[in-house]
Amino acid sequence: MTWLITGGAGYIGAHVARAMTDAGERVLVLDDLSAGHPARLPSGIPLVEGSSLDGDLLKRVLAEHAVTGVVHLAARKQVGESVAQPTRYYRENVGGLTTLLEAVAEAGIKRFVFSSSAAVYGNPDVDLITEDTECAPVNPYGETKLAGEWLVRAAGRAHGIATVCLRYFNVAGAAAPELADTGVFNIVPMVFDRLTRDEAPRIFGDDYPTPDGTCIRDYIHVADLAEAHLAAARRLTAADASGDLTVNIGRGEGVSVRELITVIG
């Protein structure tokens, strides 16, 4: 087996690349390095600099490296940016996935893991979100992830590709310092950024119907998320692998924003 990991030099992607390599899987990475860093990758992992929008490059990489499975993480992922630049998000997230699936189908590859997002659910009024909860994304980022799932499943049915879509919640942590999230967009790095500047962390919204008034979220450590991607990839190598799976990845235990800030501080 040889797995292509798109976006594999990014924060989550590099953790996936390391987890799969440590488990003995053969991997290579495709990344345009707009948010990824080559230094995150373990030595020996081939890195191809390029975009999933480049169909000719994809076909060449899949053929030259005899790729037999794909783990697709490459995507733009900032909610606010997606609201300001929706066409860019649809072009890169959905268009890039379309181009990749076309190359995968042409190459006869039969295993595909799609790194989706719990953003497909929007803001459901339920205590526990399951895979059967209605999908109603509230921003273009979530819309592109849901459209991506539809596309992955349709391509899987049409071309006999076994697929897994992973919907995960709020990602935090790092397995090693060099793998840390360098962007200040998610709550944990935002809190650390404020603290390192001797400023108090800011809380947006303190009137939620929760014990301390702040939003409760499910946080998953990025190393656990990487292991989930590895498990999904290995599930697709099983003798009975077929059809499609959709799986939520989380701890199933909520933590409020105020509780999280207290732990970090």
Distances (CA, A) of 195 to 119, 171, 192, 215: 28, 20, 5, 21
- Residue at token pair 């995968």: 104
Round to whole Å and give the CA distance between 92 and 51.
Answer: 9
Which residue, among 31, 135, 141, 33, has the nearest Cα to 94 in the 3D structure? Answer: 141
Burial of 18 (0-12, 13-18, 19+ CB in 10 A): buried
- Sign for the pseudo-dihedral over CA of 227, 230, 231, 232: positive
How many Cα neighbours within 13 Å face the side chain of 184?
Answer: 8
Catalytic residues: 141
- Yes or no: domain 2-172+218-252 corresponds to CATH 3.40.50.720: yes
The pTM score is 0.92
Long-range contacts of residues 92-97, Cβ cutoff 8 Å, at least 24 apart: 92/53, 93/141, 93/144, 93/145, 93/148, 94/144, 94/147, 94/148, 94/151, 95/53, 96/51, 96/52, 96/53, 97/52, 97/72, 97/148, 97/151, 97/152
Name 204's Cβ contacts closer than 8 Å, sequence gap at least 6. none
Domain ranges of the chain: 2-172+218-252, 177-216+257-264
Q: What stretches of 34-79 adopt beta strand conformation (E)?
A: 47-49, 69-72
Round to whole Å and give the CA distance between 106 and 114.
Answer: 18
**pLDDT tens-place values along the chain, 265 residues long:** 999 999 999 999 999 999 999 999 999 999 999 999 999 998 899 999 999 999 999 999 999 999 999 999 999 999 999 999 999 999 999 999 999 999 999 999 999 999 999 999 999 988 889 999 999 999 999 999 999 999 999 999 999 999 999 999 889 889 998 998 887 677 777 777 787 888 778 887 888 888 888 878 888 999 999 999 999 999 999 877 777 999 999 987 888 888 888 877 6
Round to whole Å and give the CA distance between 85 and 161.
Answer: 32
Which residue, among 122, 260, 256, has the nearest Cα to 201 in the 3D structure? Answer: 260
